[in-house]
Amino acid sequence: MRDYRKFYIDGEWTDPAIARQIDVINPATEEVAGIISMGSAGDADRAVMAARKAFPSFSQVSRADRIELLQNILAEYQKRYPEIAAAITEEMGAPGWLAQQAQAAIGVGHLMTGIEVLKNYKFEELRGSTLITHEAIGVCAFITPWNWPINQIACKVVPAIATGCTMVLKPSEIAPFSAVLWAEVMHSAGVPAGVFNLVNGDGPTVGAALSSHPEVDMVSFTGSTRAGIEVARNAAPTVKRVHQELGGKSPNIILDDADLNVAVTGGIKSVMMNSGQSCNAPTRMLVPSAKMAQAKEYARAAAEATTVGSPDGNAAIGPVVSETQWNKIQDLIQKGIDEGATLVSGGTGRPEGLERGYYVKPTIFADVTNDMTIAREEIFGPVLAMLPYETEEQAIAIGNDTVYGLAAYVQGDPEHARKVARQLRAGQVNINNAAGDMMAPFGGYKQSGNGREWGDFAFHDFLETKAIIGWGAAEAAE
């Protein structure tokens, strides 16, 4: 059993101010996998002040030295790669193949991308006699979730290091193991004391203390829209920058000229990935009314082919992260049934043969209308809603009829799909299940958040812009 009761503050592993622990549950077995300490406002303050102390010197570190530091972090991360992947499986139930090929792999992706961006990023430019310079914003607080734990740590920490910021990380208390290993990687890589700090704890205590702290210049939060609103409220009195990557209810518009089987099957695979626990999952599938009957058959076959089982095996999906999430998903599946949607496959309860663990049946609803609960609320489980449409204009209107705007998907003739993609109100639109792009900005419209992550766009929110008027005609320094 893992014992992670210390916090990483000012370059050292230190005891919390108050001894309070919780168990971390393995969602595949429902057994205790480890123990962590729950931090207090005092722990958060110590970590913030360590970051504040480190900022003046670290913000002046040269580009070359920051590149070298990120390269050292990458080398140490790669040494610990198998251990990190195993921790992700244990803490949040990702199948071993997914943890290896995607969950842990994306940490390497963000580090490599950040290094390449930093090599050529333009921090200064001369406009006439005015120097425009982009400088590190200061001390950053990171509050990250459990569903893609390393991804959401790396996509914040890497650009923060690259731009010269210092930081405090509060990972999810539900899935904290990989975050502790990340802290060990940072220490082994030689990150200067105080630049990176980790305090475990819950949102109402440590999260609130960080987001309201007067010495924090920026808070970056990934999680639910409800919690994101609380972070913004806590941050408002100190007028700090608030970056949010929040919920989603992404439409997947299957155009009339799409290959229906390929589009439906691919869409379902995307929803089921990571047991449906992705904020950008295409959970609303819009299908031409005339093709709905055939689409249901393709959907049923795809859902029934989605294997569910222990993360240690070769199943397509493992459990969802916790009993709380399992119960929420069950309630929403029942709500779909009660509101009159057609249950194509799946339903409530555990899959046959899985009596222990937080496993959910791959579930497909059809004949869904956009006012139903399952079309409005983010379910965060392996559940898809299929909605019929009569015209392309109606499909676009339905797609945009949501408080969210994180992602959208379009399937069909490429030129046709491009036209539709331009009309969707979302931060990222995927055409024909295109492969991911580490340089593509990620973030949302509307209640899906503020700001962007990934690639060079990730650097922007970690920088303040200064104009020095009268600098003169001399060449701007790098």
Question: Which residues are annotated as catalytic?
Answer: 245, 279
Distance CA 197, CA 190 (A): 13
Token pair recorded at residue 112: 């490599």
Would you tell me how many other CB atoms lie within 10 Å of the CB of residue 265? 18
Instruction: Yes or no: say if 114 and 158 are a contact pair by the CB < 8 Å rule.
Output: yes
Token pair recorded at residue 350: 């555990």
Locus of tokens 């089921």 = 272
Q: What is the DSSP letter of 475?
A: P
Q: Which long-range contacts (C-beta less than 8 Å, at least 24 apart) are formed by 58-65?
A: 58/164, 58/165, 58/166, 58/192, 58/194, 58/195, 59/135, 59/136, 59/138, 59/164, 59/165, 59/166, 60/164, 61/164, 63/118, 63/119, 63/123, 63/478
Distance CA 99, CA 150 (A): 10
Query: Which amino acid, one-letter code, is at 108?
Result: V
Q: Which residues, 6 or more positions from 308, have their beta carbon under 8 angstroms from its beta carbon?
A: 315, 316, 317, 318, 351, 354, 359, 360, 361, 362
| Distances, alpha carbon 80 to alpha carbons 107, 231, 299, in Å | 11, 32, 39
Count Cα atoms within 13 angstroms, Cβ side, for 218: 23
Between CA 404 and CA 462, with CA 277 as vertex, the angle to 5 degrees is 60
Distance CA 438, CA 155 (A): 10
Distance CA 118, CA 74 (A): 14
- Per DSSP, the three-state class of 26 is strand
Distance CA 364, CA 368 (A): 10
Query: Which amino acid, one-letter code, is at 382?
Result: P
Task: Taking the CA atoms of 89, 93, 98 and 104 in sequence, report the sign of the dihedral they define.
Answer: negative
DSSP 293-320: HHHHHHHHHHHHT--B--TTTT-SB---
